[in-house]
Copies of this chain bind each other. A is one copy, B any other.
Amino acid sequence: MIIRPLRADDKNQWQALYDGYHRFYDRPDLPQDFFDTVFARLMAVDPQDFHALVAESDGDLLGLTHYVFHPHMWFPEGVCYLQDLFTADRTRGKGVGRALIEGVYAEADKAGRPRVYWLTQEHNYAGRMLYDRVGVKSPFIRYNRPL
């Protein structure tokens, strides 16, 4: 298994994974237009926008992660927000998620913005089993504007 940046010819496999991710969060049936737009953003390699890494084994995509660098008031170099992480059901427990997070750590180091963080639902037990090993839970919780 290797961790590498997303490529144009990954489109179909990437979409299957990202669709699975949204189903996990109860957002099924996203239109094709959503996936086309997002994929185009990832391919544009805009330093202000999201980047993607995928885990590949013999041409098979096993997982994906999307991350973005954004400014931070306290750390002038900015920080890295790992927003999406997803691995195929058939690969759970094989270290794919961990390899993807560590791939983002490596990219963040290269970019000189080593502070990486992510958010997860308190009851995402399977995810947190991994996150407690590669990260540290903070006491911060998220509030949203009601819309």
Query: By DSSP majority rule, is chain A's interface helix, strand, loop, or mixed?
Result: mixed
Does A140 lie within 8 Å of B121, measured CB to CB?
A: yes
Q: Number of copies of this chain in the oligomer?
A: 4
- Contact assessment for A138 and B144 in the assembled complex, using a CB-CB cutoff below 8 Å: yes
CB-defined contacts of A26 to chain B, threshold 8 Å: none
What bracket does the count of chain A residues touching chain B fall in?
35 or more
Nearest residue, chain B, Cβ from A105: B145
Cβ of A8 under 8 Å from chain B: no
> Contacts A115-B145, A116-B144, A141-B137: A73 and B50 contacting too (C-beta < 8 A)?
yes
Within A110-147, the residues touching B (CB, 8 Å) are 114-123, 125-126, 128-129, 131-132, 134-147
Q: Which residue of B lies closest to A18 (CB)?
A: B73
Known contacts A66-B73, A136-B146, A144-B138: A129-B120 contact under CB 8 Å = no
16 additional contacts (CB under 8 A) given A66-B73, A120-B143, A137-B142: A27-B74, A37-B76, A50-B73, A70-B81, A73-B83, A114-B145, A114-B147, A119-B142, A119-B143, A122-B139, A123-B132, A125-B129, A135-B145, A136-B145, A137-B141, A140-B142
